[in-house]
Chains A and B, each alone.
Chain A
Amino acid sequence: SAVISQKPSRDICQRGTSLTIQCQVDSQVTMMFWYRQQPGQSLTLIATANQGSEATYESGFVIDKFPISRPNLTFSTLTVSNMSPEDSSIYLCSVDGQGVGNTEAFFGQGTRLTVV
């Protein structure tokens, strides 16, 4: 299994500002994933982050809005840029626990973001 620490756990931010969310894993993992969970909704994949390469974004998500860093095999950051109230969501980091596709995913506790 993998233990994932996400920071911050929650934040309230002003519109137009940016927030960077950190995800730290206790073991080296190939793939890291960032999800968004809007209020009362399911999880939507934002992007996949592999170390040493640019993140791969899903349809509807762009790098300018959600820049991602993956400097090593245990850490990643997601930035929510130029925030608006529509960005109020829970953002979750996830890792591939087996190293062969996402056949077992582990999740952080999430970052609850409120934009005012």
Chain B
Amino acid sequence: AQSVTQPDIHITVSEGASLELRCNYSYGATPYLFWYVQSPGQGLQLLLKYFSGDTLVQGIKGFEAEFKRSQSSFNLRKPSVHWSDAAEYFCAVVNDYKLSFGAGTTVTVRA
């Protein structure tokens, strides 16, 4: 079964600095991969997704992610973070029509 791992539990970044969140997926056929964001007290919002094709995926709120089959990774990036990006970020993979989520990475943005 497909699964994802998020190695970083917590990341602190300065406002205006770049951000990269790591996500590794388990071996298998081309996965369907997602990044979701959960702001405090909110539900989950889809940032972007990858099914096939172009390995660099653009999402909402200025986020992008790159699918690298050689590294089994789907890392999320943002060139310049805003204070409103402070949230919990989840990588997810479709596993037999169901979503399996990583443990999540908490992002703290300092002024």
B42 nearest CB across to chain A (Å): 6
Digitize A81-116: 1 where CB-to-B-CB distance is under 8 Å, 0 elsewhere. Answer: 000000000001010100001111111111000000
Q: Is B28 an interface residue (CB 8 A)?
A: no
A50 nearest CB across to chain B (Å): 11
Contact yes or no, B43 A48, CB < 8 A = no
Q: Is A78 an interface residue (CB 8 A)?
A: no
Contact yes or no, A43 B90, CB < 8 A = yes
> A42-B104, A43-B90, A103-B51 given as contacts; is B98 within 8 A of A109 (CB)?
no
Cα of A104 to Cα of B51 in the assembled complex, Å: 10
Main secondary structure of the interface of A (DSSP, over half): strand
For this complex, into which size category does the number of interface residues on chain B fall? 20 to 34
Q: Is A33 an interface residue (CB 8 A)?
A: yes
Digitize B14-26: 1 where CB-to-A-CB distance is under 8 Å, 0 elsewhere. Answer: 0000000000000
Cα of A35 to Cα of B70 in the assembled complex, Å: 32
> A42-B90, A101-B94, A103-B94 given as contacts; is B42 within 8 A of A109 (CB)?
yes
Q: Beyond A102-B98, A104-B49, A105-B46: 19 further Cβ-contacts under 8 Å?
A: A33-B99, A41-B103, A41-B104, A42-B90, A42-B101, A42-B103, A45-B98, A45-B100, A92-B44, A101-B94, A101-B97, A102-B94, A104-B46, A105-B34, A105-B99, A107-B36, A107-B43, A107-B44, A110-B42
Can you list 24 A-B pairs, Cβ within 8 angstroms, ordered by A?
A: A33-B98, A33-B99, A41-B104, A42-B90, A42-B102, A42-B104, A43-B99, A43-B101, A45-B99, A45-B100, A96-B97, A101-B97, A102-B97, A102-B99, A103-B32, A103-B49, A103-B94, A104-B49, A105-B34, A105-B99, A107-B36, A107-B45, A110-B42, A110-B43
